[in-house]
A and B are shown apart, each in its own frame.
Chain A
Amino acid sequence: MRLRPLLLLCTYMCILSFHLHGDATEQNSLEDNACEIMTDEFDDIFFDEEDSFEFMNEYLDTTATDRVVNSIDPKVIMTILNFIDAPAILELPFYLHTNIIHKRSLLDQPIFEPDRAEFPKFTVSGVSFFVRKTDRSNFTKNSTKLSSYISLVEELLISRLQNSIGKIAEQFPQLNIDVEKIFNLFENMTVQERQAGFMLHFMKRWHNTTFRIFAPLYYFENNFSLTKREQDAVAEEFGRLSPEEEKEFRKDHFICDKIGMGDTRIEIDQQILKRPALTLRLGGQATIPTAFTWGAGFQGSTFSKPSTLPTFNLDPLFNAFENPSEQTEAQAFNSLSNFLLDSFDRLAANLLDTKLGNNRHLGVGAYVRTKTPLRAYINNPFAEKIKLTNRISVELFLPATEKRFYINKINETAFNEHNFEDLSQAAENLLFLEEQMIERLFLRAFNTKIRPGAIFRWTNNICYSGIRHGFNLGTDFWIQDKDVFKSIQASQKTINELNLPQAKPPFGEQWKVFGGVVFKHKTALNTCFISLNGDITMNNKGIGQDWGLSLNFEASF
């Protein structure tokens, strides 16, 4: 601390005066002595009320700056910014969307449906070990590329940025940046999702009523993903990090992982129709928000979701311009890279740092299950063992508050009102451009009351059940409507500034095929089943293409 010598000086003076005159530092009340002696020579110091404000002094002693960086004249900075045509760049959006990535609950995955039409006993209990992966998540309805979310292929932005860099290169010929090439490196970047864990399930039947409950314990990891070739291209452009540095960098900025429990699904239904060709059950389901996180940050990090925009000091950059040296250039580089990484971390917070479960939304719905023995239509020994099952459900969600990210709208009127060439208004214009730059690059998270879109699901399955083994094969259709934004916890002024349409995710739609094989072992008391199930997405919109495998152990007793 640069001012520390002065504090030492105070201490030194104290010791010296004690030495010269004994203890002059008696804790006398100053008021008590105020009238004893007055002297004209040494009483010309003046005070204001802030000098004795306790928290002001505490602030000055602990948090206040030790030195003031000498700001560069705003006129100089504005001249440079006008020269490189910075205002024109900031008039263009950087974020095209700020919505979260659509995800499908584990509870809605077809591999966790009962893999046979009926069980021998009234109670079934078991556990499924599962792994799931989404190779490419959808940012928008049709695209899994980051360029659909961030303006990486917009020609106007690229040309304006390239134009600015060209002008800087006139002064610094060593600067050779191809904006389009750099943007292209990340154009195809996407988000991968991995899940692994256990689905605990229990089912009980009483006469015509069936109760079922299941809940997952799992680990998930979301990460930004580039292909190996793309990674090599990035390394070639920006320089390769050592393996340790790369691992640390990925952990800090590219990966988010958590472990915990998901939501719990309860289903209860009643058999309302039983005919030789059809059994129909009608029931209700509830998704109980039991999800919680036990731990996070094993292979990756968690990312904070602030609602505030940071400040950015342009001085180190322009200081490097005015006084080029290794030190000023390093300062400028650090300042800029930290700023951009912070901005990137907000993107990671939005896309990677998702909660286990369904953001504490209680879901309620209704479903119909049907069962049709094939023998009702075909009369042969094989058909005897085949049953066709169907499940159709609709689930609605209650609103709950969750963090959603937003970007500010571009205020074109404000841009038009500023004459950036007028250097008499340089300070004001500079402040405006600084704010605009931060608003273009930084997302803000606000508590938002959301009602997730309703989910419609239709699953049908053909189940073969032999004496010792069986198999099943089916299709699954899942669609979720768009979220409804009920309210945002922010001032009306702030809400007016936010670009709400960009924050709303598209609807999601998936069509899957799934199947499995099952082996059973019958004992005197119960029947044990071991089954291997899998599903894969065949068609999707607004949600990623995923696949899953599960190994299910269950017993019917």
Chain B
Amino acid sequence: MKKLLCSLPLIISSTLICSPENIVILESPVIKVADGSFINADRIEFMRKVRRILLSIILGEQLPQGHRKGDGIQHMAHLEQELEKAPQTKENLHKKNQMQQALVDAKKNFSLLLSEFVDSGRGAKKILIELIQEDCLRRNRPESLLLDWAKTKEGYESVMFDEQILSFHDYYHFCTDLANFLLDLIHSCPKAEKQFKDRVIKWNAVKQILPIIIKKAHIKIETFNEIEFLKYLKERYLDKLILDEITPQLILPLLMEYIKHTHNA
């Protein structure tokens, strides 16, 4: 039993990763207006990033070839369930206490992510509620805590989260509902999603030719922060570049401009 329980996280996460796509396309008229304008590449990017972090929280850190460590809250929820069923021994009670403490710490940190997410939608609460309602309805999750959380008065979301999430079971379902909602929202905004995908493709194209440019410009690799340059490029130029035009000749002046900026800073 113990062996089985140990391998459970990996088993479940693998099952989930292999599960076929099950995407809900939201049909609210709001989304048709927002797609490409209010919901743009930046928001899709942020949602993807939040979702990636949620997946790491739920399933554990991602490993090469799409594997997951399997030590996330899904695993914790399973342990919690097993402990509930297990006899109330001193050892099990101790483990339960440990889990409660882990839950408190996890919730505390998770509030930060939630507040970022809430901030990003600040002023659009009504729209968010409408979309979450539709998503929960179509995913057959009428009891979802996400729904209650969305309906919470603006500014009180963290309090609500703290009060309503009392177990890893609740926490897991809240996170999965949020991750699924984000996925559905992303897929319901094809214009914004395309903007974002184009951005990532162009980013990758620049990344591929960057070693050539660095060599050409005689830049000492130890004095150059590639990630910071890619961030700079994304903020200032990437969306305006055309994929076919991404060549060392085009990127080199931008790299020199970045170096001048960092020097000035």
A binds B: yes
What's the interface size class on A, roughly? 35 or more
- Please state if A311 and B239 are interface contacts (CB–CB under 8 Å): yes
A67: which B residues are within 8 A, CB to CB?
Answer: 46, 116, 119-120
B7-21: which have CB < 8 Å to A?
A: 7-19, 21
Interface residues of A in 10-60 (CB under 8 A from B): 10, 12-14, 16-34, 36-39, 41-52, 55-57, 59-60
Contact partners of B63 in chain A: CB under 8 A: 27
Interchain CA distance A323-B45 in the complex, whole Å: 26
Which one of A68-76, A283-291, A531-539, A543-551 is at the B interface? Answer: A68-76
Knowing A27-B63, A47-B21, say if A9 contacts B110 (CB, 8 Å): yes
Least distance between A259 CB and chain B CB atoms (Å): 16
Who on chain B is nearest to A71 by CB? B38
Interface residues of B in 220-265 (CB under 8 A from A): 227, 230-231, 234-237, 239-242, 245, 249-250, 253-257, 260, 263-264
Question: Is A63 interfacial (CB-CB < 8 Å)?
Answer: yes
**Is A255 part of the binding interface, using a Cβ–Cβ cutoff of 8 Å?**
no
Q: How far, in whole Å, are A551 and B176 apart by their CA atoms in the complex?
A: 82
Chain B residues touching A, majority SS: helix
A304: interface (CB < 8 Å): yes
Which listed segment binds A: B71-79, B148-156, B157-165? B71-79
Q: Are B38 and A20 closer than 8 Å at their CB atoms?
A: no
A557 to B79 CA separation, bound complex (whole angstroms): 99
**Does B49 reach chain A (CB closer than 8 Å)?**
yes
B219 adjacent to chain A (CB < 8 Å): no
Contacts of B13 in A (CB 8 A): 30
Given contacts A60-B49, A311-B239, contact A30 B21 (CB under 8 A): no
With A12-B106, A20-B98, A44-B176 in contact, do A63 and B67 touch (Cβ < 8 Å)? no
Is there contact, CB below 8 Å, between A48 and B250?
no
Q: Cβ of A467 < 8 Å from any Cβ of B?
A: no
Alpha-carbon distance A437/B48, docked complex (angstroms) = 31
Q: Tell me if B81 is interfacial: C-beta within 8 Å of chain A.
A: yes
Given A42-B77, A63-B203, is A27 in contact with B67 using a C-beta cutoff of 8 Å? yes
Is the pair B57, A17 in contact by a Cβ cutoff of 8 Å?
no
> Does A252 count as interface, using CB distance less than 8 angstroms?
yes
CB distance from A245 to the nearest CB of B (A): 12
A47 to B102, CA, bound (A): 27
B172 surroundings in chain A (CB, below 8 A)? 42
> Quick check: is B69 within 8 A (CB to CB) of the other chain?
yes
Chain A residues lying within 8 Å of B110, measured Cβ to Cβ, are: 6, 9
Least CB distance from B222 to A in Å reads 18
A-B CB contact pairs (8 Å), 14 listed: A3-B49, A23-B6, A25-B71, A30-B13, A45-B55, A46-B180, A55-B203, A55-B204, A55-B207, A56-B48, A63-B231, A64-B48, A308-B240, A345-B257
> B interface vs A, CB < 8 Å?
2, 4-19, 21-23, 37-38, 42-43, 45-46, 48-49, 51-53, 55-63, 66-79, 81, 95, 98-99, 102, 105-106, 109-110, 112-113, 116, 119-120, 122-123, 169, 172-173, 176, 179-180, 183, 186-187, 197, 200, 203-204, 207, 227, 230-231, 234-237, 239-242, 245, 249-250, 253-257, 260, 263-264
Chain A interface (Cβ < 8 Å from any Cβ of B): 2-3, 5-10, 12-14, 16-34, 36-39, 41-52, 55-57, 59-68, 70-71, 74, 252, 301-311, 342, 345, 427, 445, 447, 491
